[in-house]
Structure 1
Amino acid sequence: MFNDAGQGLVLLLFGAIAPRLFRNTGESMKKLFTLIMYCGGASTITGILFGTYFGYPVFPPLWFNYHALVAGESSSNSSFKSIYDILVITIYFGIAVIGVGLILNWINLLRKKEWFKLLFEKGGIIGAEMYFAGVYASFYFAEHSYKELPGNSFLIAAFGMPVLILMLKVPIEMVLNHKKENNSGHSDSPSPGIINYIMDWIIELLEIFSGYLANTLSFMRVAGLGIAHVSLMMAFRSIAGLTGNEFSLAGLSILLFGNILVIVLEGLSAGVQALRLNYYEFFSKYFRGNGRAYAPISLRNYLQEEG
């Protein structure tokens, strides 16, 4: 989203120096400066991959030329020909992130021996099977010029069977709850009516299909903000060029102002969107509001535990 090596280096240096300049700040601000430093490092790496330095393609990109694609220029030597290819990359990335989140959720459920949730909940095996089957069907549909879907046998096995299995969720849950109530010696859970049962089943199906679709498409904002970032820098370069020479004093002043504005506004928007994607599309897949306190893995914590 913020793919500029020069601007990323500015953020990295600011995040590294700021704690020394503002020594009286609290612990939360120090953590914020550290986060800015890491974000600047990530921006520097992606900027080198795309060959972007303060809005200019100074060095050849290690991956592909982001500026050229946004400007409508494609290289015959590159497999990326248009902005749509950038959007596809973000979708692949989103599928991978969602997949990792689901695996972590399964690990948590296995450790807690919550077999019912492992099978039937949205982030369980059935929901994940329908999601990845939908991913396959979508790419199959796109590769066949949006004219052909996978065969009926695949559609029945991938979608029809899981839908029917989900119909058994409520009856199985009622049986399990009944056994627990018999063991505890009391019963206070009313049986749902047939209408409520069908409505719950339909709502759950809609939640699985629409939820996973929205989760995946949300990652397209990564490409959108990246395209907006490049477009803003191209606009400031054009404005600087109107002075007669973009490297004159007036042109450099415009470029300096443009870089500062982009670092502040785009950095803020990219940071907010990154937090949103991490929480809603990844963290919420496996997070539970109980259990052990979250402790990030780090070499420092490991050495402290060993010591």
Structure 2
Amino acid sequence: FPPLWFDYHAVVNGGEAVGAIRSVYDILGITIRFGMTVLGVGFVINWINLVRKRDWFTLILDKAGLLGGWIYATGAWVAFYYVGKNYKALPPANLLLLVLGIPTLALAFKGPIEFALHARHSGKTFKPGMIMDFMMEWIVEVLEIYSGYLSNTLSFMRVAGLGIAHVSLMTAFLQIARMITPEGPLSPMAVLILVLGNVLVIALEGLSAGIQSLRLNYYEFFSKYFNGTGKAYRPVSFNGRTMR
């Protein structure tokens, strides 16, 4: 059957590809864009939850809030700009300072503002040593945002890896079927090899794809908005008492 979107086998095996997808790098680019879309949906869900809770502080200054989302979107734009310039140029320094540097510096105010809000209720007093604590928290959070969101996005490249592994394994079984039987790929032995190869590949890919999908959903996606708090789910049930 002809491919509906692009010829995965031609791309991986070095054949004549048809369509806009002509190399493995194009396949990896698709998975990265897909991952950015999934993470973006996670950001939006988190913002909706915070608006419903009226938690404006977290909505603005949290790493998964508006400021964190802005940094992530700007970082993605810088990455695409760099790739579009053939890995030779970055956006102007003044523009980077405005759209990326200032929001990153704004995260430094998260600790002092949070302390001031909580100090009203807890009665804690400010001490000069807390300045260093605020600075360390800011540095750790900035490193976590940049490294964490980068790894979250690149994690979706494993989807392309599964597709490439599928093509490679099926090509290997096809070559084995052709080499082991001189009658051709339609001989009984060749058909048996192809059937067993398909069963093995489907089993291995089903296991690996299931594991990777769980990781991408629960770690990359859910971590953007799920916090494990709220009302416990109690379904409708009967207590088991009987009437006589």
TM-score (norm 1): 0.72
How far is 1:188 from its partner? 5.0
Code of the residue aligned with 1:246 in structure 2: it is: P
User: Are 2:209 and 1:209 equivalent residues in the alignment?
Assistant: no
User: Are 2:15 and 1:78 equivalent residues in the alignment?
Assistant: no
Unmatched segments (≥5 aa) in structure 1: 1-58, 182-186, 296-307
How far is 1:266 from its partner? 1.1
Q: 1:1-307 to 2 correspondence within 5 Å?
A: 59-75=1-17, 77-181=18-122, 187-188=123-124, 193-242=130-179, 243-244=181-182, 245-292=184-231
How far is 1:293 from its partner? 5.4
Preserved contact between residue 229 and residue 262 of structure 1 (Cα < 8 Å): yes
Q: Deviations over 1:249-269 (max 9, x none)?
A: 111111111011111111100
Code of the residue aligned with 1:272 in structure 2: it is: I
- Counterparts in 2 of 1:189 and 1:273: CA distance versus 1, 3 Å: farther
Hey, what's the Cα distance between the residues in 2 that align with 1:218 and 1:294? Answer: 32
Q: Deviations over 1:154-195 (max 9, x none)?
A: 2011211112211111111111112233xxxxx257756332
How far is 1:61 from its partner? 1.2
Hey, what's the Cα distance between the residues in 2 that align with 1:275 and 1:214? Answer: 16
Matched residue SS, 2:2:
coil
Q: Percent identity of the aligned residues?
A: 54
Q: Give the match for residue 237 of structure 2.
A: none
Unmatched segments (≥5 aa) in structure 2: 235-244
Hey, what's the Cα distance between the residues in 2 that align with 1:116 and 1:240? Answer: 63
Matched residue SS, 2:118:
helix
Hey, what's the Cα distance between the residues in 1 that align with 2:16 and 2:29? Answer: 16
How far is 1:247 from its partner? 1.5
Preserved contact between residue 109 and residue 115 of structure 1 (Cα < 8 Å): yes
Hey, what's the Cα distance between the residues in 1 that align with 2:46 and 2:16? Answer: 41
Hey, what's the Cα distance between the residues in 2 that align with 1:217 and 1:189? Answer: 43
Preserved contact between residue 39 and residue 220 of structure 2 (Cα < 8 Å): yes
- Counterparts in 2 of 1:201 and 1:266: CA distance versus 1, 3 Å: same
RMSD: 1.7
Hey, what's the Cα distance between the residues in 1 that align with 2:190 and 2:26? Answer: 33
Preserved contact between residue 225 and residue 270 of structure 1 (Cα < 8 Å): yes
Hey, what's the Cα distance between the residues in 2 that align with 1:211 and 1:158? Answer: 19
Higher relative contact order (CA 8 A, sep 6+): 2
Q: Deviations over 1:84-130 (max 9, x none)?
A: 10000000000000000000000001100111111111101111111
Preserved contact between residue 118 and residue 124 of structure 1 (Cα < 8 Å): yes
Hey, what's the Cα distance between the residues in 2 that align with 1:100 and 1:200? Answer: 27
Matched residue SS, 1:168:
helix
Preserved contact between residue 74 and residue 82 of structure 1 (Cα < 8 Å): no
